Chain A
């Protein structure tokens, strides 16, 4: 039986208390909300924190506030199911709704939180294995070893950013509030991530994710498309997030982000630029898809063959943009 390792457990009632405990315990401590990513990892001895700080009792970390005109505030410890059921999210940020709805299974979405998905540990076939399996290959760079088995010459860990919400939050231009004993700072969602499978977040170990803010939804339309083997359970092998703001029929701003093709979400800058100032037609969409897909440089550490995964990027970018559709199209893509 795979049991959790021992740890001390704290359940603070306020964010201030949680930050104080985290500061006091140092890097030996971790925070946990839903636990659906952390506990399996602890059972496989990827992480063995001496102290766990449960965030369940902190009411200030839960809920959705705001309006499409002013933007939304989302508490990071909000359960994914609650966000799926939020009309604010579903109607005005459909890309975020689709990303959340695509995470794992309904049962796991009853437990997991959006903050947990944002901070989801990077994944790799050589890492997400039990201790005995990993010991048999003499471990890997990400945990207990020093070789990257996907690319033995690599200096950097290539484990994949497998969060569904990360690319869509980057595309929406969401901001992330981080709280520690030393104070509060707010960063762009895209600046939370780093292209390093081990040190994949710029969040310091004494910081707690305390809030997610989404800009006003007015005139933005959005979608999220996800490639995976099964329609449930699976992490993305590719995620495409698209947010487009229209000025009449013309694209005023476009944001395209690829998930699960690298150690961090990847911005398809050239493809975005190619759409601006033009109508969203089959030709412009095709051109954006052609410009976006070379950015996907998958390595052989998740499901499916490499070349097919890369090729699928073109199709999924096209589908995501078709789903966004021009303004007024009846697909319920937001405003």
Chain B
């Protein structure tokens, strides 16, 4: 570690001011998808840059970079946050979940299955961010209303689906998490009967 980088091991209230110079790299321990990862990155690097460029977790997408689209959403401390506007060094030691971490072992998350089944992903670029935001919603509210889904996903832009299929997929996933045999509604599959 370069001499001009002062850094304390350990976190917590007793740690005094941590400082990082602008030129040297900082060595960080990140907790990504349940695994501890060590990275050396510039102090000004964003979590999005480190996830994609250093850890090669390219599931998290790189969109507007300015907090205006939501495609880079990951879960930090269990809450959806935008990785393009997070300093990596502020994420040290905090649990990070990306779209790669949604599956449980070989089984995709019910949200992922429902999205695939109902065509809720078209070009797919917004999907990783939406899956993370939806997962956080379902963790907090296992049976969300349509309005709650709309609101929870209002920070994720989609330019393909018109959102309807996304809302229906989240509803289906929520039902399947309680009853694995739950099927898409008649309206979802065939449209509204006139």
Give A residues with C-beta under 8 Å from B. Answer: 1-13, 17, 21, 35-36, 39-40, 43-44, 50, 54, 56-57, 59, 81, 104-108, 110-111, 231-233
Would A39 and B155 count as touching, CB distance under 8 A? no
Chain B residues closer than 8 Å to A57, beta-carbon distance: 15
Q: List 14 A-B contacts (CB under 8 A).
A: A3-B44, A4-B44, A9-B22, A13-B16, A13-B17, A21-B17, A36-B85, A39-B85, A43-B66, A106-B80, A107-B133, A231-B154, A233-B154, A233-B155
Given contacts A9-B22, A107-B155, 6 further A-B contacts (CB under 8 A): A3-B45, A8-B22, A13-B17, A106-B154, A107-B156, A110-B79
- The answer on a CB contact under 8 Å between B152 and A106 is yes
Residue of A nearest to B23 (CB): A6
Closest approach, in angstroms, between the C-beta of B128 and any C-beta of chain A? 13
A39 to B, closest residue via Cβ: B85
CA distance A36 to B65 in the complex (A): 11
Tell me the complex Cα distance, A110–B89, Å.
18
Q: Does any Cβ of A come within 8 Å of B49's Cβ?
A: yes
CB–CB A6/B154 < 8 A: no
A1 touches B62 (CB 8 A): yes
Chain B minimum-CB-distance residue to A42? B44
Given contacts A40-B85, A232-B154, contact A8 B49 (CB under 8 A): no
User: Does A107 lie within 8 Å of B81, measured CB to CB?
Assistant: yes
B135 to chain A, nearest CB (A): 13
With A5-B44, A7-B44 as known contacts, state yes or no: A107 contacts B17, CB within 8 Å: no
Query: Would A8 and B17 count as touching, CB distance under 8 A?
Result: no
Which residues from B are CB-within-8-Å of A6?
Answer: 22-23, 42-44
Inter-chain contact A17/B17, CB cutoff 8 Å = yes
**Given A7-B43, A35-B87, A233-B155, also A12-B17 (CB < 8 A):** yes
Cα(A9)–Cα(B49), bound, Å: 18
Please tell me if the beta carbons of A8 and B19 are within 8 angstroms of each other in the complex: yes
Interface size class of B (residues with CB under 8 A): 35 or more
CB distance from A78 to the nearest CB of B (A): 14
Q: Could you tell me which B residues sit within 8 Å of A by CB distance? A: 13, 15-23, 42-46, 49, 62, 65-68, 70, 73, 79-82, 85-87, 89-90, 133, 151-152, 154-156
| The one of A54, A81, A104, A110 that contacts B87, using a Cβ cutoff of 8 Å | A54
Do B67 and A36 touch (CB < 8 A)?
yes
| Contact of B67 (CB < 8 Å), options: A10, A40, A59 | A40
- B53 (CB) vs chain A CBs: closest residue: A1
Which chain A positions have C-beta within 8 A of B89? 9, 11
Residues of B within 8 A of A36 (CB): 67, 82, 85
Distance between Cα atoms of A28 and B89 in the complex (Å): 21
Name the CB-closest residue of A to B155.
Answer: A105
Which residues of the other chain, A, contact B43 by a CB distance below 8 angstroms?
A: 6-9
- A110 touching B81 in the complex, CB below 8 Å, given contacts A9-B89, A36-B67: yes
CB–CB A8/B154 < 8 A: no
A105 and B154 within 8 A (CB): yes
B22–A35 CB distance below 8 A: no
In the complex formed, the residue of B with least CB distance to A59 is B13
- A233→B89 CA distance, assembly (Å): 26
Contacts of A40 in B (CB 8 A): 65-67, 85
User: Would you call A8 and B87 a contact (CB within 8 A)?
Assistant: no
CB of A81 within 8 A of CB of B19, answer: no
Q: Which of B13, B16, B22, B70 contacts A107 (CB 8 A)?
A: B70
Query: What separation, in Å, do the CA atoms of A17 and B18 have in the docked complex?
Result: 11
- Give the nearest-CB partner of A101 in chain B: B151
Q: How far is the CA of A9 from the CA of B85 in the complex (A)?
A: 15
Q: Which residues of A have CB within 8 Å of B81?
A: 107, 110-111
Q: Which residue of A lies closest to B80 (CB)?
A: A107
Across the interface, do B82 and A108 meet the contact criterion of CB distance under 8 Å?
yes
The answer to whether A233 and B44 touch across the interface, beta carbons within 8 angstroms, is no
B18 touches A10 (CB 8 A): yes
Docked Cα-Cα span, A162 to B22, in Å, equals 31
Residues of B within 8 A of A2 (CB): 65-66
Q: Can you name the residue of chain A whose Cβ is closest to the Cβ of B84?
A: A39
B188 to chain A, nearest CB (A): 24
A111 touches B82 (CB 8 A): yes
Chain B residues closer than 8 Å to A4, beta-carbon distance: 44-46
The answer, among B17, B46, B70, for a CB contact under 8 Å with A10, is B17
Q: What's the Cα separation between A43 and B87 when bound, in Å?
A: 13
